[in-house]
């Protein structure tokens, strides 16, 4: 499968709640099944030579869900980091959590920072996990950072702005995948996905396997990217 250098794929892992309900369990069971799919995506991405993978795990708006669901997700995030750290470390993956960490509990923040620190020199797949992430919030935080540095308006360049975003150093998104039939960006990577190819599938996230990933890449390979030119 042919892929450009430095390929960046971003995924909105949607449909966990519905999957949980359809399988006569609850929404949190759906998120658990969703978490169990992440490893396969990750392995297949490494196999295919994908360099950058960004996953939307929790949005700035997801706090509005029931406390049962939010607490369930927090438990799943802790479990994920505990369970997968050894694998991540062993596979030369570099992990970065994008979004505003400050809203999470102290122990979860410490776990996220520790995984980032332990993997920061790794040179394999770059895995960005978006947690308490929103595109609007990221752009506002970047703007505040720049204003605090007293940058003169005429000195502000695209490069400086991109370096103030959570994704500093990551190339723009090439392919944005959203599962579960919804066709929305939902405040994800608004700046970075400006020219991304969009791939929507009806498959619910917990059913999205290696073959589904290959289908999305085959779709990408059929597109002609013009970046506004012709």
The Cα–Cα gap between 230 and 213 comes to: 28
**Which of these segments, 33-41, 132-140, 153-161, 207-215, binds ligand FPP (CB under 6 A)?**
33-41
Provide CB contacts within 8 A for 43, sequence distance 6+. 210
Please answer whether residues 36 and 29 qualify as being in contact, where contact means their C-beta atoms are separated by less than 8 angstroms. no
18 binds ligand FPP (CB under 6 A): yes
CA 30 to chain centre: 18
Q: Which of 9, 10, 11, 13 binds ligand FPP (CB under 6 A)?
A: 13
Nearer to ligand FPP, 88 or 175 (CB): 88
Q: What tokens appear for 223 in the block?
A: 């597109």
Please answer whether residues 192 and 167 qualify as being in contact, where contact means their C-beta atoms are separated by less than 8 angstroms. yes
6 part of the active site: no
Please answer whether residues 130 and 55 qualify as being in contact, where contact means their C-beta atoms are separated by less than 8 angstroms. yes
List binders of ligand FPP among 124-163 (CB under 6 A).
129
34 binds ligand FPP (CB under 6 A): yes
Q: What tokens appear for 30 in the block?
A: 């759906």
Nearer to ligand FPP, 17 or 172 (CB): 17
Q: Which of 26, 62, 118, 122 binds ligand FPP (CB under 6 A)?
A: 62
Provide CB contacts within 8 A for 100, sequence distance 6+. 60, 132, 133, 137, 141
Nearer to ligand FPP, 180 or 192 (CB): 180
Nearer to ligand FPP, 76 or 125 (CB): 76
Nearer to ligand FPP, 4 or 39 (CB): 39
**Which of these segments, 31-39, 44-52, 148-156, 214-222, binds ligand FPP (CB under 6 A)?**
31-39
**Annotated catalytic residue, options 62, 122, 163, 187:** 62
Question: Whole-number minimum distance, CB 225 to ligand FPP, in Å?
Answer: 27
- Tally of CB atoms within 10 A around 110: 11
Please answer whether residues 76 and 109 qualify as being in contact, where contact means their C-beta atoms are separated by less than 8 angstroms. no
Greatest C-alpha distance within the chain = 58
Q: Which of 11, 28, 76, 111 binds ligand FPP (CB under 6 A)?
A: 76
230 part of the active site: no
- Tally of CB atoms within 10 A around 72: 20
77 binds ligand FPP (CB under 6 A): yes
Q: Contact residues for ligand FPP (CB under 6 A)?
A: 13-18, 31, 34-35, 38, 55, 57, 62, 76-77, 80, 129, 180, 205
Residues annotated as catalytic are 14, 62
């Amino acid at each position: 499968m042919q892929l450009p250098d430095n390929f960046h794929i971003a995924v909105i892992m949607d449909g966990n709640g519905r999957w949980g309900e359809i399988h006569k369990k609850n929404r949190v069971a759906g998120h658990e099944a969703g978490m169990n799919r992440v490893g396969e995506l990750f392995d297949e991405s490494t196999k295919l030579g994908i360099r950058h993978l960004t996953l939307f795990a929790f949005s700035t708006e997801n706090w509005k869900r029931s406390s049962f669901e939010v607490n369930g997700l927090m438990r799943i995030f802790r479990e994920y980091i505990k369970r997968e750290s050894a694998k991540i470390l062993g596979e030369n993956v570099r992990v970065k959590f994008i979004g505003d960490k400050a809203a999470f509990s102290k122990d979860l923040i410490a776990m996220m920072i520790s995984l980032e620190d332990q993997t920061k020199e790794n040179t394999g797949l770059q895995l960005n996990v978006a947690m308490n992430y929103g595109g609007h919030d990221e752009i506002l935080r970047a703007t505040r950072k720049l204003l605090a540095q007293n940058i003169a308006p005429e000195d502000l360049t695209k490069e400086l702005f991109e370096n103030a975003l959570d994704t500093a150093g990551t190339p723009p998104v090439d392919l944005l995948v959203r599962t579960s039939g919804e066709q929305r960006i939902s405040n994800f990577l608004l700046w970075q996905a400006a020219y991304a190819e969009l791939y929507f599938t009806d498959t619910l996230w917990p059913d999205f396997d290696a073959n589904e990933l290959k289908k999305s890449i085959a779709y990408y390979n059929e597109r002609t990217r013009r970046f506004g030119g012709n």
